[in-house]
Amino acid sequence: MSPILFGDDLWYGTSDDVSFQSLATSILEQSSILAQHYKKKLQNNPGLIRTPTCQFNRYELSKINFEEKIEALQNIAVSTALFAIQETQSDTLLAGTIGPYNGRDRNIREAELQRYFSEPAIYLTDRGVHTLLLEGFTDSGQLKKAILSLRKINSVPIPLAAFYRISSQTKSTTISDLIKYSDQIGIELIGFEVDLEELINLPACLNNRQTPLGFQLMNRGNISNLDLEQICEKLVSFSPTLILGGKGLKEEDWIKCKSCLSKQVDKNSFNK
């Protein structure tokens, strides 16, 4: 099978307003701290690292009165990362992250919703990210709209990866529908954020695709209680292109997962 690109763990921010404000303030006022975070992640030689910009849209920033700082936040997050990559002489790729619209207004106008996705994407692209990455989406319809929004503004095409967060209630039809949509619209990667405990139950429809596949590995329990070898065997069977650490997965546990996955890839290659 083709080599898997292993990315970083999910080290930035939560949905908690205090943590979110602390992250935004730190980026604006103490970019050296952000640089240290990037350099720490680069020590693990990831194939890809992410900007901590997932929540930096006008809706989220308006809650902490940072709405007019949206461009500055994206610019600093990208330029600091690119400098860290250059300084460490790494060939790591940089993904600019964009998250969902979490407002309660379900009657939001289509043009306004598109702006929540397209505006940060423009800033990220202009500053030089190597790829755009949608993550944190639990509404498949909104994810489709986000994909379409980024396709419309991406006049200088760069790769687009889109991740959907799976829960135990997610229907296999939702997964197959997103795969079909990604094949039709022609994005570079369709991904799924999935808890390690749920991964073993992923449907076979994940293999019926043309678009490259990615995963973010989430964790809400103790990884030592899981059969990691069985989980990794299942994961590798889908021939993913990109795997990242996801929500709740500690850095040390992400390192364990990468080691187990690498061994499984080597085992499969040997058996062939």
Per-residue pLDDT tens over the stretch 48-101: 999 999 999 998 999 999 999 999 999 999 999 999 999 999 999 999 999 999
Of 80, 87, 66, 78, which is closest to residue 133 (Cα–Cα)? Answer: 78
Are the C-beta atoms of residues 162 and 184 closer than 8 Å to each other? no
Q: What is the DSSP string of 102-168?
A: --S-TT--HHHHHHHHHHHHHHHHHHT-SEEEEEEE--HHHHHHHHHHHHHH-SS---EEEEEE--T
Cα(223)–Cα(130) distance, rounded to whole angstroms? 32
Q: Please identify, in words, the CATH class of the domain defined by 5-271.
A: alpha beta
Are the C-beta atoms of residues 46 and 88 closer than 8 Å to each other? no
pLDDT in tens, 196-253: 999 989 999 999 999 999 999 999 888 887 889 999 999 999 999 999 999 999 999 9
Q: Per the structure block, which two tokens stand in for 43?
A: 């020590």
Residue 272 reports pLDDT greater than 60 = no
Are the C-beta atoms of residues 249 and 219 closer than 8 Å to each other? yes
- Give the pLDDT band of residue 6 (cuts 50, 70, 90): very high
